[in-house]
Amino acid sequence: MIAFAVIALLILASASLAMCLRNLVHSVLLLVANWAGIAVFYLWAGAEFVAFAQLLVYVGAVSMLSLFAVLLTRRSFHDLDIIPESVSRATWALLTAGAVAGVLIGTILGSPFGNVTEAAPAVSMRQLGEELAGTHVAGLLVVGIILTVALLGGVVIASKDKEDKS
């Protein structure tokens, strides 16, 4: 339980700090810590495959993508500090998020979950591969198509028009 408390603290503290900062690069770097913390949670829960997928996809790829987007969309060196938001907007957002969290946690605490299974489900890498290429092969193909289309779409959207010389 102490390990869980440390992981939860790491995840929540890095996420909330990242969303409060003014400097975008610092925010993205803190979110890298947050995603690594989530990978540690997966390891703690016994899902090693998902933990390393999380490390590869989020800590490796999405963080680099976000950093590139941050650095490509600033006008000068000092443009990283963003303008503060209005107080009413922040207040309403916090109220809404607090209400959602309250409803969710109230429901969770009030639900009869019964006895939890104590032993982690044992699943080998070989079993995962056979499921992925056997039972879920249609899903795997669809994900491949989605990733290809998203990649092409991203390139088309972000690329410059030919007549646009500026």
Partner 1 sequence: MNPLQLCLILSSLLFAVGLAAALARTHAILVLLGVELMLNAANLNFIAFWRYGPPASPADGIMFVVFSIAVAAAEAAVGLALIIAVYRHQKNIRLQEANRLKG
The C-alpha atoms of residue 14 and residue 26 are separated, in whole angstroms, by: 11
CB of 55 to partner 1, least distance (A): 11
Hey, is 46 helix, strand or coil? coil
Q: Is 10 exposed, middle or buried (0-12, 13-18, 19+ CB in 10 A)?
A: middle
- Binding to partner 1 (CB under 8 A) within 106-135 occurs at 108-109, 113, 115-117, 120-123, 127-128, 131-132
Q: Does 50 bind partner 1 (CB under 8 A)?
A: yes
State the DSSP string of 49-98: HHHHHHIIIIIIIIHHHHHHHHHHT-SSGGGGBPPPPPHHHHHHHHHHHH
- Binding to partner 1 (CB under 8 A) within 70-109 occurs at 70, 72-73, 75, 82-83, 85, 89-90, 92-94, 96-98, 100-101, 104-105, 108-109
- Binding to partner 1 (CB under 8 A) within 54-73 occurs at 54, 57-58, 61-62, 65-66, 68-70, 72-73
CB of 162 to partner 1, least distance (A): 14
